[in-house]
Structure formats: structure tokens, C-alpha cells
Amino acid sequence: MTTPAPTPATGRDPLDALDDFGIEVPSWAYGNSGTRFKVFTTPGTPRDPYEKIADAAQVHAMTGLAPRVSIHIPWDKVDDFAALTAFAKEQGVAIGSVNSNLFQDDDYRLGSLANSDPRIRDKAIAHHSECLDVMRATGSKDLKIWLPDGTNYPGQDSLRDRQDRLADSLAQIYAAMDDDQRLLLEYKIFEPYFYTMDLPDWGTSLLHCMALGERAKVILDTGHHAPSTNIEFIVMQLLRQNRLGAFDFNSRNYADDDLIVGSADPFQLFRIMTEIVAQGAHLPTSGVNFMLDQCHNIEEKIPGQIRSVMNVQAATAKALLVDQDALAAARAQGDVLGAHGVVMDAYETDVRGLLADRREARGLPRDPLRAFAESGYAAKAAADRVGGTQASWGA
Ligand code: AOS
Ligand code: ZN
Ligand code: ZN
């Protein structure tokens, strides 16, 4: 199919919406990280949060697509968060969501926010108060909670009591938040526990968010579902309830692979973005935070992130090219294959040239990966960053 013309109704190019589209990148993607097995180190890997932010800023400089960096506490803890925020600004980016960490403390063996021991629950709640202070210092508005709590064996704990304790802990965190702060609640079908997770699915996360209040929203990590789950349906349903707060984008083949989004199944990413565009949720006013949650073990990290944001942009571009008038007409006529064809025409459009043109028009490199390779940044980082300890997923 040829490149679609601008929509006749407005005369505007549907891809203009991309100019305001941003993807948040995770600080931990720039550290050494990977699987349960060997973690390969790379020369030039950041040694502190400043160097992680400098690397993330390269992604934005090359693509214009990654204006914010998610941070993780305590991995990105610094003495002076105002200074870190100012440094990010100098680099051309901002600090995005603040991720709490409930999965690296011996106290949390039997759970954190859902633990039966009130002392341990209080400790986990207090950690979120610390994260809220980091948000106040950095200007971040999103507190992101991934709850690793669960059980491994039938009978290990009361599933009902765990939910009640979790609800109470979350309510205490929510009560400590400012009016302009949001609580984003992630779910995951399994891992680190394998019999039950306390937040295993979008329905459970949504129920907790609804009990908390309007500023509690669900995070959908694309790697956190059973095989064959129809993720775009969940996207539609959460949008319908105004409860989709954010994505953690990544690619999933088997479990929580955390690989480059859109690498294994670009069609799924397109289907997700089609539901997003259909409800106008690609616009900044929608409040949906499009984040990456990825690790790069064997590939170069900055190019891996550049590729990732470009994949999300390409899927969004194709979704924007769906001819909504033709789609509505085909649906109204009960034209099953006609409607399907409209969607497939958009998916099969080669948007690479269109996106390169748009980048060039904004003063960005036509080919961000090539521009980064030619910039010499990686070699300079490898030469400069000697001594110290390289950052890793988990530190
Ligand atoms: C874990 O599986 C989740 O995806 C979380 O989002 C987690 O916080 C993230 O991977 C970084 O710790
Ligand atoms: Zn995640
Ligand atoms: Zn995950």
C-alpha cells in the first residue's frame, strides 16, 4: 500500500500527533543487567545515577522521543535530589516516575506490604514515604509500585488476609500522597512467587486502585501476562475506566523477558497502540505514561533503548494511520474483512521514511542509531568511566 494521504476531514497529517508523544526510559536499562544467569559487563557502563541520566539523555538527543527517565529507589539514591534534577535538566531530560523497591530486603521473605508482621508492613510503608519525598524534590508526579509479594505453597498463608493487609498498607501510602501525585500499581502473573502473587492481574490491581481513589491507576507491563492473553483488550478496558496509568513496555516470548519492545511481536505492539489511539490516549493530556521496563544483557544499552523508543513510535505511527472513517463505515456495514483490511493496511504501511522526514524537520538525525554510533559517545564513556563500580540491576 502507498503512504496514506493526510486525513481529508481536517487536512492535517495524522502523524502530527507524534510531535507531542514521549516515552519514559528506565534508569536501570543503562546498568548491567540481564537474566538469572551470567550478567555481561560493558565498558562505559554508568557508575552512578548521574551517568545513567547522561546516557538516557543520549536517547532523547538522538530521537526526540525520550524526555523523561524513571528512577529506582534506593538504586538511584543520591544525597541531593535537587542537584540530580538540575543535572537532568541540563542534559535535556526530566526525572519521571519514582519506583519503590520491595524485593531486596531480607525482611521481605514473606512479603512486604502484605506481610503478616505489622513491623515489616510499616517498614515497607515508610519506604514509600521516602519515595514521596524524592518525588517532591525531583518534581516527579508518579509513584510506581511493583509488589513482589506472594506465596509459593498452598496453605502457606491466608490469601484473603494478604489482600486485606495489602489494601490497608496501600491506603496508608495513598493517604501520605500530595494531591498532585499519582500511585501507579503494577501487576504480574508470577515471579518471584509461583503459587500466588498478591497482585497477579489487572482486575486485582484495578480493585485496589478503585478502593484507593481517583489518583490510583494501573500499570500494564506487557511481559506480565499468561501466553495468549489479549493485552489490547485489557488496555481498552482500563482506558474505559480511566484507570490506565502507565505501560511498562518490553517484549515477551516466554516469561518476564524484559527485551526490546516490539522485537518479537511488533503486531501486538501495533494492536495495543491502535486501542490507545482509538481512545485518544496517545495525547499527553490522557495521563497515560508510556514507559519502558527493559534490560539489555548482550546488546549495547543506549542503542537498545534507541531501538525501543523507535519501535514504539513506529507502532504509534501505524496506529495513527488507521483510516477511522473507513473503519467506522466498514463496521457499520458489517463488513468483517473490510474492517480488518483497514487495520491491516495501516499496519503494513512502511513508516520508516515518513518518520525519518519528521525527525529531520525537527532537527533530529534521520537515522538515530547511526548518528549515535558516529557520535563517539560510547568510546568516550568507556575511556572516561574507569574505576568505581558499574551500576547493575539490583544496585
Ligand atoms: C518486575 O518484574 C517489574 O516489571 C517491575 O516493574 C520492576 O520494578 C522493574 O523491572 C525494575 O525493578
Ligand atoms: Zn515492570
Ligand atoms: Zn517485570
Ligand 1 contact, 76 CB (< 6 A): no
Provide the residue count of the chain.
395
Q: Which run of H or E residues covers position 7? A: none
What is the tens place of the pLDDT at every residue in 260-273? 999 999 999 999 99
Ligand 1 contact, 55 CB (< 6 A): no
Q: How many CB atoms lie within 10 A of CB 78?
A: 16
Q: Is 122 helix (H, G, I), strand (E, B) or coil?
A: helix
Ligand 1 contact, 187 CB (< 6 A): no
The CA distance from 82 to 151, in Å, is 39
Give the mutation target among 99, 252, 295 for probing the ligand 1 site: most ligand atoms within 8 A of CB: 99
pLDDT of the residue at 395: 66
Sequence-separated (6 or more) residues with CB below 8 Å from residue 321: 4, 14, 15, 346, 349, 351
What is the tens place of the pLDDT at every residue in 83-122? 999 999 999 999 999 999 999 999 999 999 999 999 999 9
- Give the start-to-end residue ranges of the domains of the chain: 19-315
Sign of CA dihedral 297, 303, 305, 309: negative
382 CA to centre of ligand 2 in angstroms: 29
pLDDT for residue 1 is more than 60: no
Q: How many CB atoms lie within 10 A of CB 210?
A: 13
The CA distance from 218 to 144, in Å, is 10
> What's the pTM?
0.96
User: Residue 280 is placed in which grid cell?
Assistant: 485518544
pLDDT band of residue 3 (cuts 50, 70, 90) is very low
Lowest model confidence (mean pLDDT) among 51-60, 195-204, 353-362, 386-395: 386-395
Distances (CA, A) of 121 to 88, 114, 227: 33, 7, 33
Please state whether beta strands 289-292 and 244-249 pair in parallel, antiparallel, or not at all (unpaired).
parallel
The CA distance from 179 to 67, in Å, is 24
pLDDT for residue 7 is more than 70: no
Q: What is the CATH number of domain 19-315?
A: 3.20.20.150
394 CA to centre of ligand 1 in angstroms: 11
pLDDT of the residue at 11: 64
Q: Are 205 and 238 in contact (CB under 8 A)?
A: no
106 CA to centre of ligand 3 in angstroms: 20
Phi, psi of 259 (to 5 degrees): -90, 180
